[in-house]
A and B are shown apart, each in its own frame.
Chain A
Amino acid sequence: MNEMVRNTALFGLVAALIVLTGVMQSWNNALLILNMGLISAIMSLGVNLQWGFAGLFNVGIMGFVALGGLATVLVSMPPTYDAWSAGGVRVLAGLLTGAGVIVAAALVRARMAPSRRRALAIVVILVGGFFLYRWVFDPAVAAIEAVNPAGTGYLGGLNVCVDVEGKPCGWVILLAWPVGGILAAGAAWIIGKAALGLRSDYLAIATLGIAEIILAVLKNEDWLNRGVKNVSGLPRPVPYEVDLQADPGFVERAAGLGLDPATASGLYIKLAYAGLFAMVLIFILLLAQLALASPWGRMMRAIRDNEVAAEAMGKDVTRRHLQIFILGSAVCGIAGAMMTTLDGQFIPTSYQPLRYTFLIWVMVIVGGSGNNFGAVLGGFLIWFLWVQVEPIGLWLLQMATMPLAEGSALKAHLLESAAHMRLLTMGLILLLVLRFSPRGLIPER
């Protein structure tokens, strides 16, 4: 029972911190922290599946999160019909050609006996196929990107639903959440096939690589998501602030609560998001808890603790690892789609490994790897600290540099560098927790 009390107290503490933000700063800030905390908690649940259940080390979370973001663009934006007629079919044909070439090469490898001739055939197929693919693909891309480059210049999404005002339907973006999970799962399958079953370091390096590649694709393939020109104005599953403020009923209720319409509409929308996110979090948490307690979860932990023994018991370790790696990445993809939904825009350059990979790791390790509640707690707590450390760091530095003369170069440099304190703090937290409390705040049972 003691453990129960302790865990409840920890969650209570985080809730109190968020409420304190609401009282001290503003409720708007508190709800912002709450919403991103909910998303962070889902991401760390995904990483906890991989690391806590199975001991797999994934440093490419950023890539999977970004794929989730891509899913929102592909699912929720209206299609650019001109771009589709300019080169839509040809782009798809190009992609199919590319896939066909890889399948052909794999078939040749599987069917022919190992020999020089086989190697030669594979090389010829790949090289020839590459030129064929570029020949089909390149003109289509040029045609699509030429269609209104300032406004669209990309194929757009698949959202053909239009509401009464002629805007794309908002609810469609909810479909992007599972689609984001599927995209991330696909990328995880490729990586897992190559790197699982080898030393654990290889998975780390391969995931680091795939994250960089996914980001490079998202920044450069303008026909797909406008690249660095960003996609903004994604449809929303919740109403718009302006519509609420124009609704007399809403204004009246807000006045009844003593709030002006602008603040009230902002809070209302953030609360609506929080409700949606909380439902997803509870659903995934429930599934993760059921998985942990099931025979499958026990098998995973047995594999994690002793691979050799598990293998001797007839468990296919590599296959199980692949399974849980894909599941965990899919959860990260879902969270990524939710985050882009909340932002309302997709900005490939905003994805930084520090923020989207390592911060999630800190959450899992601080919270308690192997324990789902620990991962959720870590998600909220570390996100809160992440948001609040910068002002605190700046304040500390201002205090520390007080004795220095106003306008001295050192003082200016120190204050300017305060932003980099985050890296240092996160690194130190990770090192200290790993060293002195490797089981985290809520340890695995």
Chain B
Amino acid sequence: MADLLNALVTLANFVLIPAVAYGSQLALGALGVTLIYGILRFSNFAHGDTMAFGTMVTILFTWWFQSMGLSLGPLPTALTALPFGILVCMALLLLTDRAVYRFYREQKAKPVIPVIVSIGVMFVLNGLVRFTIGPGEQRFADGERFIITARDFRDWSGLEEGLALKTTQGITVVTAVIVVAALFWFLNRTRTGKSMRAYSDNEDLALLSGINPDRVVMVTWLIVAALATIAGVLYGLDKSFKPFTYFQLLLPIFASAIVGGLGSPLGAIAGGFIIAFSEVMITYAWKKVLGYLMPAGLEPDGLVQLLSTDYKFAVSFVILLIVLLFRPTGLFRGKAV
């Protein structure tokens, strides 16, 4: 019995909790990608660097607040800086839309053109971020590190294995739930949200019924800026901030959005968790868990790690390939074929 509990606790500590936190971050990122795809109809390659930009601004504000002695006690100071990061990121995205994307929208350019353009934007943002904060790693989490430490858990439960819950993981999940609930309320209940959905479903009919396309596009960029900054800051708090890592996040984020079905917000969330769980479970060394579960004498010798962590991107890529081969519209029947 104790063995089973120990196995469960180990599993929760090393697989479930990290995967849920990572999945929430991916889901928020994928929601941004999927919204842009639904409304503006292109895959935004600059999304990873938008996240990096929003996070960078938040970090700068965090440092400023910290230097003024501002603190949230056990919570990271970055949470107070987050709204400012979102505002600056919103301004940036509206600016890029005005300066770059609007021209091609009015031209009704081929769908691949905005994708290439977004790569140009990605470069500029990437350069901007590296220029401002440097290419190195930044840690900006402060406050209490753990909600539950492994030692406390062991003392409390009397089990051999500990269960740690980091503050950042708790914050990630709580924030993600709030943000997703707010987003769905907005999309389903408000007039603007409904007009966005109508525009995404059928542009011509939406225009006929008097929906203002410029407003829909503007609101989309604002929401995307908020989602991207929140996702980026949560990821940065949980792990660390490095511009190149955010560029690399592009692949799992796209995989999440496509697995769920591009253009489907619900699909983006499901996709985020599917990718996160597969990535963590396939790169986790199962030796310890199996050691508790298998009868004595049958414990595995090796690490029982299916793939080394260096290949975590391969996991999202393989899932992406399988979905493209067998169900290109994704699990939730997105709009793209």
Contact = CB atoms under 8 A, between A and B. Distances in A.
B324 A198 contact: yes
Given A206-B320, A420-B135, A427 B120 contact: yes
Interface in B247-273: 247-248, 250-251, 254-255, 258, 262
Interface of B: 37, 42-43, 45, 100, 103, 110-113, 115-117, 119-128, 130-132, 134-135, 247-248, 250-251, 254-255, 258, 262, 306, 308, 310-311, 313-314, 316-317, 320-321, 324-325, 328, 336-337
Contacts of B110: 55
A209 B251 contact: yes
A199 B336 contact: yes
Contacts of A206: 320-321, 324
Interface in A406-421: 416-417, 420-421
A427 B122 contact: yes
Contacts of B306: 130
A324 to B, nearest CB: 15
Contact of B313 (A55, A198, A205, A209): A209
Contacts of A388: none
Sort A-B residue pairs by CB-CB distance and give the 6 closest, nearest first.
Answer: A427-B123, A424-B127, A423-B127, A427-B124, A430-B120, A201-B43
Contacts of B311: 213, 216, 220
Contacts of B122: 427
A200 B112 contact: yes
Nearest to A127: B306
A101 to B, nearest CB: 14
A204 B314 contact: no
Interface string A174-218: 000000000000000000011100111110111011101100100
Contact of B115 (A201, A354, A431): A201
B42 A201 contact: yes
B47 to A, nearest CB: 12
A202 B328 contact: yes
8 contacts: A59-B45, A194-B321, A204-B112, A209-B321, A417-B131, A424-B127, A426-B123, A428-B120
A84 interface: no
A200 B110 CA distance: 10
Given A205-B254, A423-B124, A435-B100, 10 more contacts: A195-B324, A199-B336, A200-B112, A200-B115, A205-B320, A361-B119, A416-B134, A424-B123, A424-B124, A431-B117
A427 B131 CA distance: 14
Interface of A is mostly: helix
A216 B123 contact: no
A356 B172 CA distance: 35
A59 B321 CA distance: 16
A161 interface: no
Nearest to A200: B112
Contact of A417 (B100, B117, B130, B316): B130
Contact of A213 (B37, B45, B128, B317): B317
A194 B325 contact: yes
Contacts of A424: 123-124, 127-128, 131
A54 B308 CA distance: 38
Given A198-B328, A431-B100, A59 B131 contact: no
A213 to B, nearest CB: 5
A333 B328 CA distance: 29
Contacts of A130: 306
Contacts of B316: 209
A195 B121 CA distance: 24
B123 to A, nearest CB: 3
A9 interface: no
Contact of A216 (B37, B254, B310): B310
Contacts of A193: 325
